Chain A
């Protein structure tokens, strides 16, 4: 079986030898004092671990040279950024969002709706109860006493008819109330959504304008930098040209002087010879 290079390290009996966790703890000096002291004692007597730690330390030194490019951050948040927060805490878009995620049958029902439903159930129960209670009394009365029972039966019948009409009336009123109130409920959500959209659009516009502003600034900076570089380069070139011209002029002047001196000397010698 082929052995991993890590396994071929000379190991001693210390539990820390070759243990990556121990080495890293020691390398970063991050551990309990006892643990670090034990690792240190081992490292002092272990060449392999010392070597490994030295190599890792060198790597860390190289890593320390990595720095992000310097950039002007200047991040700030304005009150417009707070709008969604305010909406979340006050108007409750988060609640709207949460509701939107919950199936309709699990959404909580408003109190007024619960009260209406309870009233309807109560009224229906009353109606059923009244119906069951009145009919037998009337039939029993007819069966047992014939006509004399007309008085109470009539009273019961009257009571029943009033109850039904009242209940029907109540039902109609409740239905009308529900119909009137139901379309109202989405309005706050729509308003909140509209507010969210407006805030989002506002923020997008702000970000766009901020980005444009930044690009303009960067362009201006870059242009200024280029112009400055060109100006520096132009000055350097001019200085070089002038220096070169000066050198040429100096050289030419020196040669002219030498020739003049030579000419003078020759003329002097020629004069002397003539004499």
Chain B
């Protein structure tokens, strides 16, 4: 039987660890993805995800279900990301290493994905990551929440604590900056060769 988030939260509040671990299993990947895209460090994103669930678990007695569990946990994660960015005081999203480690590529290669596709995917990710560093934190977060987590404008506004119109403006401005930056780096579909990284 599949429990809803709310049911699992209720069971967790009675001290049922298994229920909370089910919630972790359900939400660990989106939270990790969010943290990774916001802060850009794989290992730190893992730590942020772990800390998010730890804090959520410890704060469960105070969670009365005013918001959805997902919204609540996203808020915790975003606060932790913000703390991380402030603490580090450096470029939030780090560029990928110049050399592509083929052994790592081979390890993450899917059964139906060729190495060429994999390299292209990695390079595209690198270009987008680089472009994302150009955005201010609020714009980047808004773009990430909308683009990769499918949140509504209202949900983003609630998470960011700003009016709905501000969210829309942030998205528009963020997308415009990304568009200008990516235009020079991503070839149009008619171009034969992929010219992703310029050294």
Residues of A within 8 A of B (CB): 20-21, 23-25, 27-28, 30, 55-56, 58-60, 62-71, 73, 75-79, 81-82, 84-85, 88-89, 221-222, 225-226, 229
Q: Counting chain B CB atoms within 10 Å of each CB, which of A24, A28, A64, A81 scores highest?
A: A24
**Using a CB-CB cutoff of 8 Å, which residues 18-53 of chain B contact chain A?**
20-21, 24, 28-29, 32-33, 36-37, 42, 45-46, 49-50, 53
List residues of chain A with CB within 8 A of the CB of B15: 82
B68 at the interface (CB under 8 A from A): no
List residues of chain A with CB within 8 A of the CB of B32: 68, 71, 73
A62 contacts B186, C-beta separation under 8 Å: yes
Chain B's closest residue to A67 (CB) is B125
Which DSSP category, helix, strand, loop or mixed, fits chain A's interface? helix
Which of B3-11, B69-77, B83-91, B173-181 participates in binding chain A? B173-181
Q: Digit string of B112-146 for contact with A (CB within 8 Å is 1, else 0)?
A: 00000000010011011100100000000001001
Please measure, in the bound complex, the distance between the C-alpha atom of A84 and the C-alpha atom of B59, giving whole angstroms: 11
List residues of chain A with CB within 8 A of the CB of B100: none
What are 10 A-B interface contacts by the 8 Å CB criterion?
A23-B172, A24-B172, A30-B153, A59-B182, A62-B124, A62-B128, A66-B125, A69-B108, A73-B28, A85-B58
Q: How far is the CB of B141 from chain A (nearest CB, A)?
A: 14
Please measure, in the bound complex, the distance between the C-alpha atom of A40 and the C-alpha atom of B17, giving whole angstroms: 49
List residues of chain A with CB within 8 A of the CB of B143: 63
Please measure, in the bound complex, the distance between the C-alpha atom of A58 and the C-alpha atom of B173, giving whole angstroms: 15
B17 contacts A77, C-beta separation under 8 Å: yes
B168 contacts A24, C-beta separation under 8 Å: yes
A68 contacts B168, C-beta separation under 8 Å: no
Beyond A65-B121, A75-B24, A82-B57, 17 additional pairs, beta carbon < 8 A: A21-B169, A56-B179, A60-B147, A62-B178, A62-B182, A67-B121, A69-B42, A71-B46, A73-B28, A73-B29, A73-B32, A75-B28, A75-B50, A76-B24, A77-B21, A77-B54, A85-B57
Which DSSP category, helix, strand, loop or mixed, fits chain B's interface? helix
Chain A's closest residue to B125 (CB) is A66
Please measure, in the bound complex, the distance between the C-alpha atom of A19 and the C-alpha atom of B53, giving whole angstroms: 39
Q: Counting chain B CB atoms within 10 Å of each CB, which of A65, A66, A81 scores highest?
A: A66
B78 at the interface (CB under 8 A from A): no
Partner of A73, one of B49, B147, B165, B178: B49
B94 at the interface (CB under 8 A from A): no
Chain A's closest residue to B49 (CB) is A75
Q: How far is the CB of B177 from chain A (nearest CB, A)?
A: 10
Please measure, in the bound complex, the distance between the C-alpha atom of A226 and the C-alpha atom of B186, giving whole angstroms: 33
A70 contacts B108, C-beta separation under 8 Å: yes
Q: A63-B147, A69-B42 are in contact. Are A226 and B103 (CB under 8 A)?
A: yes
Q: How far is the CB of A76 from chain B (nearest CB, A)?
A: 5
Q: A77-B54, A85-B60 are in contact. Are A63 and B178 (CB under 8 A)?
A: yes
List residues of chain B with CB within 8 A of the CB of A88: 58, 61
Please measure, in the bound complex, the distance between the C-alpha atom of A64 and the C-alpha atom of B53, giving whole angstroms: 27
Please measure, in the bound complex, the distance between the C-alpha atom of A30 and the C-alpha atom of B186, giving whole angstroms: 27
B1 at the interface (CB under 8 A from A): no
Please measure, in the bound complex, the distance between the C-alpha atom of A74 and the C-alpha atom of B163, giving whole angstroms: 36
A68 contacts B54, C-beta separation under 8 Å: no
Please measure, in the bound complex, the distance between the C-alpha atom of A214 and the C-alpha atom of B142, giving whole angstroms: 33
List residues of chain B with CB within 8 A of the CB of A27: 175
Q: A75-B28, A78-B17, A79-B17 are in contact. Are A20 and B168 (CB under 8 A)?
A: yes
Chain A's closest residue to B110 (CB) is A70
List residues of chain B with CB within 8 A of the CB of A225: 103, 106-107
B175 contacts A66, C-beta separation under 8 Å: no
List residues of chain A with CB within 8 A of the CB of B103: 222, 225-226, 229
Chain B's closest residue to A65 (CB) is B124
Q: A28-B146, A63-B147, A66-B125 are in contact. Are A84 and B173 (CB under 8 A)?
A: no
B60 contacts A75, C-beta separation under 8 Å: no
Please measure, in the bound complex, the distance between the C-alpha atom of A29 and the C-alpha atom of B122, giving whole angstroms: 29
A84 contacts B58, C-beta separation under 8 Å: yes
Please measure, in the bound complex, the distance between the C-alpha atom of A75 and the C-alpha atom of B28, giving whole angstroms: 7
A20 contacts B53, C-beta separation under 8 Å: no
Chain B's closest residue to A68 (CB) is B36
Q: How far is the CB of A138 from chain B (nearest CB, A)?
A: 65
List residues of chain A with CB within 8 A of the CB of B46: 71, 73
